[in-house]
Structure 1
């Protein structure tokens, strides 16, 4: 037996996290190349019954979940048509023919025409680009900003934690719709970025609280205390030990929030404070069609249906991810 071999039975169990690290080191030595596994088996082989990680276990549950599969396929389809709408819509969303205003379905125009004679089908397909862009960019910005601020507050605590909590309370007190009407009413840009910035501004406090709670829980674990005792710096503990074990709740909240942000963009656009023409948006088309719901209901039903399916797909995806990443729900 090599001199470096340390049987884990010789290690005491009263040393807390340090003993756990030592046992892990002993087990890694037992599984070194050329050695027989403790439970038997060929030398150099993999140990029998190797446990899966949280992420591999979650993925094992996800691809067996029909809710996740269906919602993921819908989202992939929406992302594809948002990037390349020409794949399924060859028309021009701005082309108008007043002679066909408010007419119903016709050959080559399955969704009919709007008040200006524009093809509703083409506008529904092109409208996915604005909604997906706002949802993805706003969610990414809110998740990164909230995770950074909340993670630092949970790790360092003290005055930083107190200041961030009070700042988050201020933002929580701002009504989202009213704040959007006030903030975006002074913006004259027709791009999606003012809407993205507003959603990030009001969306990061929710993520920061989730991230803070996850970091506070993770930093109390034995492996973090052992890493601190072994001299690991704050950056190494945050990136190597805490962040990988605290990111799961943030991913769940961000996935569900993405659908909510898409609905928020459509609501603000409907009220005239979000995206503005000539941008093609489901919210803008719904706002225009609401006046003609009795005479031309197809103008409202198709963009509203596309919006509902998109929001529902992201919420269902978030629920499936939450069920897979939360051990309490297994």
Structure 2
């Protein structure tokens, strides 16, 4: 039912266009944004480095936890021996001050923690937010009021303060990356729930949803078959912007000492230990900070590109590399593409 309406609305003529053309239009719009393509390539490279961390460190011949006391100068307070922090054939980015642990190995393994925690927390936020938002919109007035007030409380709670409080009372034996993921995911789903509830309330009054209800479909079937596909665009857009925020939260928690604990490497944890070494060993501070900045910036640009591609009427917030000097031209181009596919 909804598929037929999508086809009619997309065509705008007597002929129908397959619903799959929406995906092609999305990719066409995304490819038109050079900044988003570059950001996607950077994100893909970072994910590949995180997945290949054991292989990369094996090629280097190091690991992220082994101490090398012979590579630090105890007389100077633990400064790495050699120039540029001990960079050499066996230590590609040098070693940590005081410990002598390989900096390259800790950096690539830290990418696993930072990216993994952020992605997993985003999935939890989306899952909980979609369930709460759809339930509030489709439930009766009492259910809507209760779930909406709970969502307001979640949104109003300071994320960092709540995370600090929860992480401080959990026993140290609990796996810290898993704990950080659960805390971020279960404390910050309110934004997703609000967006989903608003979109679902708007879709409830559309003709195809009313037709499904009159046909005798149950509420859960209407939600699964008619409403959830329409929620994909706003949820994906918001999730793409949540990932960089979650990376920053994980790094901040590790920087404050309540996140990932040593010897497990994390970019935020590395920054915590590097704050007193920025003069003696600046690469120890600059490398994790640079990796964190590049990751967050690339994910932000990619999320903005996804948002613009899903909603071509909304101009990009980033005025660099969008490839769209005149938004009206882009809208006319999309209409022309639809017309060509309709007459094909």
**Could you list the runs of 5+ residues in structure 2 that have no partner in the other structure?**
73-78, 315-330, 332-344
Q: Pick which of 63-72 and 315-324 moved more.
A: 63-72
| Among candidates 191, 195, 204, match of residue 219 of structure 1 | 204
Equivalent in the alignment of 1:114: 96
Report the number of matched residues: 292
Asked whether the 8 Å contact 2:88–2:94 carries over to 1, the reply is no
What per-residue deviation string (whole Å, max 9, x for no partner) do you get for residues 250-303 of structure 1? 111111101110110000000001111121111111100011112111101001
**TM-score, length-scaled by structure 1:** 0.82
Q: CA RMSD in A?
A: 2.4
| Among candidates 114, 122, 133, match of residue 131 of structure 1 | 114
Asked whether the 8 Å contact 1:269–1:276 carries over to 2, the reply is yes
1:94 is the counterpart of 2:65: yes
Instruction: Flag the 1:152–1:56 CA change in 2: closer, same or farther, 3 A.
Output: farther
What per-residue deviation string (whole Å, max 9, x for no partner) do you get for residues 216-248 of structure 1? 111111111122222222122111111101221
Whole-Å separation in 2 of the counterparts to 1:59 and 1:72: 13
Whole-Å separation in 2 of the counterparts to 1:88 and 1:63: 31
Equivalent in the alignment of 1:291: 276
Equivalent in the alignment of 2:249: 264
Equivalent in the alignment of 2:188: 203
Instruction: Flag the 1:159–1:86 CA change in 2: closer, same or farther, 3 A.
Output: same
Equivalent in the alignment of 1:175: 158
| Among candidates 50, 59, 77, match of residue 82 of structure 1 | 50
Whole-Å separation in 1 of the counterparts to 2:109 and 2:41: 19
Asked whether the 8 Å contact 2:87–2:95 carries over to 1, the reply is no
Whole-Å separation in 1 of the counterparts to 2:16 and 2:216: 34
Instruction: Flag the 1:185–1:60 CA change in 2: closer, same or farther, 3 A.
Output: same
**Could you list the runs of 5+ residues in structure 1 that have no partner in the other structure?**
1-16, 25-37, 40-46
| Among candidates 116, 121, 137, match of residue 154 of structure 1 | 137
**TM-score, length-scaled by structure 2:** 0.79
Instruction: Flag the 1:235–1:301 CA change in 2: closer, same or farther, 3 A.
Output: same
1:250 is the counterpart of 2:218: no
Equivalent in the alignment of 2:28: 60
Instruction: Answer 1 or 2: higher relative contact order, Cα 8 Å, separation at least 6.
Output: 2
Asked whether the 8 Å contact 1:218–1:246 carries over to 2, the reply is no
1:207: how far off? 0.6
Whole-Å separation in 2 of the counterparts to 1:157 and 1:205: 20
Whole-Å separation in 1 of the counterparts to 2:278 and 2:20: 54
